[in-house]
Amino acid sequence: MKIKVLFVGVDCDTSRMIYHAMKKDWQIERVIFEQPVSTKTKIKFRLKKLGVLTVIGEVLFKLFVDALIAPFSKKRKKEIISQGNYSLDPVPASQLIQVNDVHQGDWSTWLSSFQPDLILINGTRILKKSLLDQFSVPVVNIHAGITPMYRGVHGGYWALANNDNNNFGSTIHLVDTGVDTGQILKHVPAHPTSRDNFYTYPYLQFAVSIKELYQVVDEYLSVDKDKPRPISTMNGAFSKLWFYPTIFEYIYFRITKGIK
């Protein structure tokens, strides 16, 4: 019998990759897409957390990526998608529920109607305890970074920048109220080529992780609930939350280490 899944995320390339890959093996009851957090809200958070100069550097870098890196990376992106037999087609409207914020969703109705075995998320806001407490089933995420060392965003890039190539990859983990702090189900290594860069690293990380997702979750759900489950917390491991590089950091690592 197929695992029944509620897929909760934002409408982006990686969500589409996950959806089309997983529907082959799982019974996806519905896809719930929330609106992305606004740029204004993100900037306000970063200003408070990181300061004005760092945020200016991040904004300049984001403009640089959109203008120069992304357009020249389309061929490599298509290659990664093609090699994994993934699809970027939109999720069918018949499967889709759209909300402004997942915390405002009609979860009591959805949970009783669809009765999922699993909730899979991608790219959502950090889920509050009040929402997680409503779920009696596992909530699973793919994070593009090896946790707990590379929490936050663009963990693959930061691993390379730190000369930590062995920790370039992704983490399939359970979701809690922290930022990528949930219990680890599996680390999935990836191996960037000389043709990869900041823009394509996440596609590569997701491409290898999605192929592991079904087996990892199936093994987790099949274990007797009264016995220990195959999880890891990496106790004692270095942990850090990472953000976008500034334009100045990117130039420095590009020149000194050749990290694209």
Per residue in 166-188, pLDDT (tens digit) is 999 999 999 999 999 999 999 99
Mapping DSSP to helix (H, G, I), strand (E, B) and coil, where does residue 2 land? coil
pLDDT at residue 228, rounded to an integer: 47
Q: Residue 125 contacts by C-beta under 8 Å, 6 or more apart in sequence?
A: 34, 37, 101, 102, 103
Q: State the CATH number of the domain containing residue 207.
A: 3.40.50.12230
- Please state, for a pLDDT cut of 90, what percent of the chain lies above it: 80
Length of the chain: 260
1, pLDDT greater than 80: no
Q: In this structure, are residues 43 and 56 in contact, taking their beta carbons and an 8 Å threshold? A: no
Query: Which domain range does residue 123 map to?
Result: 4-257
Q: Which residues, listed in sequence order, are joined to residue 143 by a DSSP beta bridge?
A: 171
User: How far is the C-alpha of 253 from the C-alpha of 260, rounded, in Å?
Assistant: 8
Q: In this structure, are residues 145 and 187 in contact, taking their beta carbons and an 8 Å threshold? A: no
Neighbours of 182 (CB within 10 A): 23
User: How far is the C-alpha of 243 from the C-alpha of 150, rounded, in Å?
Assistant: 10
Q: Residue 204 contacts by C-beta under 8 Å, 6 or more apart in sequence?
A: 80, 156, 190, 192, 196
pLDDT at residue 46, rounded to an integer: 87
Number of domains in the chain: 1
* pTM for this entry: 0.92
User: How far is the C-alpha of 86 from the C-alpha of 14, rounded, in Å?
Assistant: 10
What is the arithmetic mean of pLDDT over 128-134?
94
Neighbours of 163 (CB within 10 A): 9
